[in-house]
């Protein structure tokens, strides 16, 4: 990668882009100077073209002649490198952490504020709460979009798997996960979660989220207290075999027994139990399920996620197969979608067969950095050599932490409390030997 990075940095900083002939000459020189046997000519060409397009966007219009301040990626701990890029004429301030995928002692893990399903805390606080038995946190970045207020503040919008257990269900959008072979994957994940009642009828369920009046939601001890619901009907569930504790594992089918039924909300979720909550619009039409009844709960998803221990929601996809994806937004005027075409602070994860990249772009600070559009962010990931890449929550949530401190400049002037995060953790045995 280093053989590609150095001429790319020269290309972006020194080329004048006076006319197309100059661009072609500069690009040809970059290609001829690259010595990187691990990469195919096709990948090198994609990266170079992406770099050219990125540089062209930087220097077009009134930005001709923009100068880039590049701090080359430097190793800060075994297998982890960091660098910052500054383009004062735009301006942009970009932070990049590169993780060597060949270092088996380094792993990506999702974490959550609070007990695991709801709650908000800063990225620094989430790092401080990581048990030392898991290892040493080397780097981290903010995670999924989330509910910011009311009773379910901190409920992530999409999938989250924490230490192998589901704490938030998928919403059909994009998620990032680490498969059973340790490889990062990303794409849409659809929930097929359901409860099968004693009469054999199956009904879709949500997981650890705000329950609507016409929905059924399962709550686990990750809620850290009660269900926070109002009204409806709730069943306290226990394992059919006391020796086998309840666990919401991806793809699992779990048999449970009804221990208690309540016709009121906010049922406590005690350790070793789950609570199934049905909204009042359904409970008025549903026969009572008496104590002692057996239910079946399925945690299936499409695609299946067997033995996945870490997953995090996000989206949209920024890079697939080494190509930046065109951002298509639905009709309407929702800020959630219109902001994709505007420049804002951004966070993303990208990867290729050699490395994973955590990328944060500062924004909403006119003297430091205005932020990127999602397509600009995709171009930047491709220029790093990413074959795949996914967007994370941005704006005031964008935070990158490395080696004991926040490295970026949050647009709120301080860290914003967030729902969850993605961390690079060095295994305890390896961390102890350093």
Question: Among 178, 173, 143, which residue's Cα sits nearest to residue 348?
Answer: 143
Looking at the structure, tell me whether residues 334 and 415 fall in a common domain: yes
- Which of 281, 299, 317 delimits the end of a domain? 299
Looking at the structure, tell me whether residues 251 and 169 fall in a common domain: no
What is the pTM (predicted TM-score) of this model?
Answer: 0.84
Residue 411 belongs to what domain range?
67-188+306-434
Per-residue pLDDT tens over the stretch 327-371: 887 665 566 667 888 999 999 999 999 999 999 999 999 999 999
Residue 52 pLDDT grade (very low, low, confident, very high; cuts 50, 70, 90): low
Looking at the structure, tell me whether residues 233 and 326 fall in a common domain: no
Looking at the structure, tell me whether residues 77 and 54 fall in a common domain: no
Contact 374, 394 (CB under 8 A): no
Looking at the structure, tell me whether residues 247 and 350 fall in a common domain: no
Query: Which of 31-45, 66-80, 145-159, 386-400 shows the lowest mean pLDDT across its residues?
Result: 31-45
Residue ranges with strand state E in 243-368: 253-262, 274-278, 294-298, 301-302, 310-313, 317-320, 323-324, 346-351, 355-361
Looking at the structure, tell me whether residues 146 and 202 fall in a common domain: no
Per-residue pLDDT tens over the stretch 108-156: 999 999 877 999 999 999 999 999 999 999 999 999 999 999 999 999 9
Per-residue pLDDT tens over the stretch 260-277: 999 989 999 999 999 999
Mean per-residue pLDDT, 242-270: 95
Structure confidence at residue 69 (pLDDT): 62
Report the domain count for the chain.
3
Structure confidence at residue 390 (pLDDT): 98
Structure confidence at residue 332 (pLDDT): 57
CB-based burial label for 412 (10 Å; 0-12, 13-18, 19+): middle
């Amino acid at each position: 990668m280093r053989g590609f990075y150095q001429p790319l940095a020269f290309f972006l900083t020194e080329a004048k882009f006076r006319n197309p002939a100059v661009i072609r000459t500069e690009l040809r020189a970059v290609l001829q100077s690259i010595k990187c046997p691990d990469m195919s000519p096709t990948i090198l060409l994609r990266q170079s073209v992406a770099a050219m397009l990125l540089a062209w966007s930087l220097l077009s219009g009134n930005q001709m002649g923009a100068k880039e301040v590049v701090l080359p990626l430097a190793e800060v701990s075994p297998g982890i490198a960091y660098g910052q890029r500054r383009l004062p004429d735009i301006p942009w301030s970009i932070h990049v952490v590169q993780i060597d995928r060949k270092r088996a002692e380094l792993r990506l893990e999702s974490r959550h504020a609070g007990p695991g399903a709801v709650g908000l805390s800063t990225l620094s606080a989430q790092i401080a709460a990581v048990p030392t038995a898991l290892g040493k946190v080397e780097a981290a970045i903010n995670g999924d979009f989330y509910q910011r207020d009311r009773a379910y503040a901190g409920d992530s919008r999409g999938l989250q798997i924490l230490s192998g257990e589901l704490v938030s269900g998928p919403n059909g959008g994009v998620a990032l996960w680490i498969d059973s072979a340790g490889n990062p994957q990303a794409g849409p994940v659809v929930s097929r979660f359901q409860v099968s009642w004693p009469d054999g009828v199956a009904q879709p369920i949500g997981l650890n989220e705000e329950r609507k009046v016409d929905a059924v939601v399962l709550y686990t001890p990750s809620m850290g207290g009660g269900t926070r619901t109002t009204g409806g009907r709730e069943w306290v569930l226990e394992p059919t075999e006391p020796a086998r504790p309840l666990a919401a594992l991806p793809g699992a089918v779990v048999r449970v027994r009804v221990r208690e039924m309540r016709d009121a909300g906010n049922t406590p979720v005690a350790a070793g139990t789950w609570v199934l909550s049905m909204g009042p619009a359904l409970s008025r039409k549903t026969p009572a399920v008496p104590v002692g009844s057996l239910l079946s709960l399925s945690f299936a998803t499409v695609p299946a996620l067997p033995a996945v221990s870490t997953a995090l929601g996000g989206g949209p996809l920024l890079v697939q197969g080494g190509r930046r994806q065109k951002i298509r937004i639905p009709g309407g005027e929702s800020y959630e979608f219109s902001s994709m075409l505007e420049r804002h602070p951004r966070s993303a994860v990208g990867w290729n067969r050699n490395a994973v990249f955590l990328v944060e772009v500062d924004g909403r600070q006119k003297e430091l950095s205005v932020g990127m559009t999602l397509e600009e962010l995709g171009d930047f990931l491709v220029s790093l050599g990413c074959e795949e890449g996914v967007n994370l929550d941005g704006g005031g949530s964008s935070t990158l932490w490395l080696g004991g401190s926040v490295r970026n400049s949050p647009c709120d002037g301080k860290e914003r409390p967030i729902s969850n995060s993605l961390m690079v953790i060095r295994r305890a045995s390896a961390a102890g030997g350093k």
